[in-house]
Protein backbone atom coordinates (compact mmCIF):
# COMPACT_ATOMS: atom_id res chain seq x y z
CA UNK A 1 0.00 0.00 0.00
CA UNK A 2 2.16 2.87 -1.27
CA UNK A 3 -0.56 5.44 -1.74
CA UNK A 4 -2.99 6.70 0.84
CA UNK A 5 -5.27 9.65 0.47
CA UNK A 6 -7.47 11.24 3.08
CA UNK A 7 -10.69 12.45 1.52
CA UNK A 8 -13.13 14.63 3.41
CA UNK A 9 -15.43 17.54 2.85
CA UNK A 10 -16.22 20.64 4.86
CA UNK A 11 -19.44 22.57 4.53
CA UNK A 12 -20.53 25.89 5.94
CA UNK A 13 -24.10 27.01 5.89
CA UNK A 14 -25.38 30.36 7.09
CA UNK A 15 -22.79 30.79 9.85
CA UNK A 16 -20.15 29.06 11.91
CA UNK A 17 -19.19 26.40 12.61
CA UNK A 18 -18.16 24.41 9.58
CA UNK A 19 -19.06 20.74 9.55
CA UNK A 20 -16.38 18.31 8.41
CA UNK A 21 -17.47 14.96 7.04
CA UNK A 22 -15.01 12.09 6.89
CA UNK A 23 -15.79 8.41 6.46
CA UNK A 24 -18.93 7.88 8.59
CA UNK A 25 -18.11 10.70 11.00
CA UNK A 26 -18.60 14.42 11.26
CA UNK A 27 -17.31 17.14 13.54
CA UNK A 28 -17.65 20.89 13.90
CA UNK A 29 -14.84 23.36 13.38
CA UNK A 30 -15.06 27.00 14.41
CA UNK A 31 -13.21 29.98 12.99
CA UNK A 32 -9.58 29.51 11.95
CA UNK A 33 -8.50 31.48 15.02
CA UNK A 34 -10.37 33.22 17.83
CA UNK A 35 -9.20 35.28 20.78
CA UNK A 36 -12.26 35.07 23.02
CA UNK A 37 -11.93 32.41 25.75
CA UNK A 38 -15.74 32.14 25.74
CA UNK A 39 -15.95 31.41 22.00
CA UNK A 40 -18.25 28.36 21.84
CA UNK A 41 -16.44 26.38 19.13
CA UNK A 42 -13.08 24.68 18.80
CA UNK A 43 -11.09 26.64 16.21
CA UNK A 44 -9.39 25.13 13.20
CA UNK A 45 -5.99 25.89 14.75
CA UNK A 46 -6.99 24.19 18.01
CA UNK A 47 -8.14 21.12 16.07
CA UNK A 48 -4.81 20.94 14.25
CA UNK A 49 -2.76 21.31 17.43
CA UNK A 50 -5.01 18.90 19.32
CA UNK A 51 -4.54 16.37 16.53
CA UNK A 52 -0.76 16.68 16.84
CA UNK A 53 -0.85 16.14 20.62
CA UNK A 54 -3.24 13.19 20.23
CA UNK A 55 -1.09 11.70 17.47
CA UNK A 56 1.98 11.73 19.71
CA UNK A 57 0.24 10.50 22.87
CA UNK A 58 -1.72 7.82 21.01
CA UNK A 59 1.32 6.79 19.01
CA UNK A 60 3.35 6.35 22.19
CA UNK A 61 0.58 4.23 23.72
CA UNK A 62 0.40 2.09 20.57
CA UNK A 63 4.18 1.61 20.57
CA UNK A 64 4.05 0.57 24.23
CA UNK A 65 1.36 -2.03 23.43
CA UNK A 66 3.30 -3.35 20.42
CA UNK A 67 6.43 -3.84 22.54
CA UNK A 68 4.53 -4.94 25.67
CA UNK A 69 5.95 -2.11 27.74
CA UNK A 70 3.66 -1.26 30.67
CA UNK A 71 2.42 2.34 30.63
CA UNK A 72 -0.05 3.64 33.19
CA UNK A 73 -0.78 7.08 31.76
CA UNK A 74 0.35 9.39 28.96
CA UNK A 75 -0.44 13.08 28.71
CA UNK A 76 0.75 15.50 26.04
CA UNK A 77 0.91 19.21 26.84
CA UNK A 78 1.25 21.48 23.81
CA UNK A 79 1.90 25.18 23.33
CA UNK A 80 1.66 26.79 19.92
CA UNK A 81 2.91 30.31 19.20
CA UNK A 82 1.79 32.24 16.16
CA UNK A 83 4.15 34.49 14.21
CA UNK A 84 1.79 37.50 14.40
CA UNK A 85 -1.88 36.90 15.22
CA UNK A 86 -2.72 40.53 14.39
CA UNK A 87 -2.18 39.76 10.71
CA UNK A 88 -5.12 37.35 10.91
CA UNK A 89 -7.25 40.26 12.09
CA UNK A 90 -6.05 42.41 9.20
CA UNK A 91 -4.49 45.08 11.40
CA UNK A 92 -2.96 47.69 9.10
CA UNK A 93 0.81 47.97 9.32
CA UNK A 94 1.36 44.60 10.97
CA UNK A 95 4.07 42.42 9.47
CA UNK A 96 4.66 38.71 9.50
CA UNK A 97 2.03 36.05 9.00
CA UNK A 98 -0.77 34.42 11.01
CA UNK A 99 0.81 30.97 10.90
CA UNK A 100 2.48 28.99 13.61
CA UNK A 101 6.02 30.03 14.47
CA UNK A 102 6.78 27.44 17.15
CA UNK A 103 5.10 24.39 18.64
CA UNK A 104 6.36 22.80 21.86
CA UNK A 105 5.07 19.44 23.04
CA UNK A 106 5.99 17.80 26.32
CA UNK A 107 4.70 14.30 26.90
CA UNK A 108 4.44 12.98 30.45
CA UNK A 109 4.70 9.20 30.70
CA UNK A 110 3.85 7.23 33.81
CA UNK A 111 5.50 3.83 33.48
CA UNK A 112 7.43 1.39 35.64
CA UNK A 113 9.58 0.55 32.59
CA UNK A 114 13.26 1.44 32.41
CA UNK A 115 14.09 4.85 30.95
CA UNK A 116 15.87 3.18 28.00
CA UNK A 117 12.67 1.33 27.06
CA UNK A 118 10.61 4.52 27.16
CA UNK A 119 13.31 6.29 25.10
CA UNK A 120 13.04 3.60 22.39
CA UNK A 121 9.26 3.97 22.34
CA UNK A 122 9.61 7.75 22.08
CA UNK A 123 11.98 7.56 19.10
CA UNK A 124 9.74 5.04 17.33
CA UNK A 125 6.67 7.20 17.97
CA UNK A 126 8.25 10.30 16.46
CA UNK A 127 9.54 8.37 13.44
CA UNK A 128 6.09 6.85 12.73
CA UNK A 129 3.99 9.97 13.35
CA UNK A 130 2.41 11.48 10.22
CA UNK A 131 1.75 14.78 11.98
CA UNK A 132 5.21 15.12 13.53
CA UNK A 133 6.68 14.51 10.08
CA UNK A 134 4.37 17.14 8.57
CA UNK A 135 4.77 19.77 11.30
CA UNK A 136 8.58 19.42 11.32
CA UNK A 137 8.64 20.67 7.74
CA UNK A 138 6.46 23.68 8.51
CA UNK A 139 7.28 25.01 11.97
CA UNK A 140 9.93 25.01 14.69
CA UNK A 141 8.89 21.88 16.59
CA UNK A 142 10.21 21.17 20.11
CA UNK A 143 9.41 17.66 21.32
CA UNK A 144 10.29 16.21 24.71
CA UNK A 145 9.08 13.64 27.17
CA UNK A 146 9.38 13.16 30.90
CA UNK A 147 8.87 10.04 32.93
CA UNK A 148 6.70 10.65 35.98
CA UNK A 149 5.91 8.27 38.77
Q: Which residues contact 45 (CB under 8 A, 6 or more apart)?
A: 32, 33, 80, 100
Q: Is the pLDDT of residue 83 over 70?
A: yes
Q: Is the pLDDT of residue 1 over 70?
A: no
Helix, strand or coil for residue 102?
strand
Could you tell me the pLDDT band of residue 89, with boundaries at 50, 70 and 90?
very high
Give the tens place of pLDDT for each residue, 6-41: 999 999 998 779 999 999 999 999 999 999 999 999
What pLDDT score does 102 carry?
97
- Distance between CA atoms of residues 3 and 19, nearest Å: 27
- Distance between CA atoms of residues 17 and 40, nearest Å: 9
Could you tell me the pLDDT band of residue 2, with boundaries at 50, 70 and 90?
confident
Give Cα separations from 121 to 71, 79, 97 (angstroms).
11, 22, 35
Could you tell me the pLDDT band of residue 149, with boundaries at 50, 70 and 90?
confident
Count Cα neighbours of 101 within 13 Å in the Cβ-side half-sphere.
8
Characterize 4-17 residue by residue with b for buried, 16 or more Cβ atoms within 10 angstroms of its Cβ, and e for exposed.
eeeeeeeeeeeeeb
What pLDDT score does 90 carry?
93
Q: What percent of the chain has pLDDT over 70?
A: 99
Query: Omega of the bond prior to 142 within 30 degrees of 0, cis?
Result: no
Candidates 115, 103, 114, 99; CA nearest to 143 is 103
Average pLDDT score over residue span 43-52 = 97
**CB of 29 closer than 8 Å to CB of 10:** yes
Give Cα separations from 139 to 118, 130, 142 (angstroms).
26, 14, 9
Task: Give all domains of the chain, ordered by start, each with its CATH number.
Answer: 43-148 (3.30.300.20)
Give the tens place of pLDDT for each residue, 113-148: 999 999 999 999 999 999 999 999 999 999 999 999
Q: Give Cα 17 to chain centroid, integer Å.
A: 20
Q: What is the mean pLDDT of the chain?
A: 95
Amino acid sequence: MNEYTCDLRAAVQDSEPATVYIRKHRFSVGAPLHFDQEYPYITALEHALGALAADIAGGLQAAARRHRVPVDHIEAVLTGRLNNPLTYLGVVGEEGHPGLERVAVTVYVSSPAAQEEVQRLWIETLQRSPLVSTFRKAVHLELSYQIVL
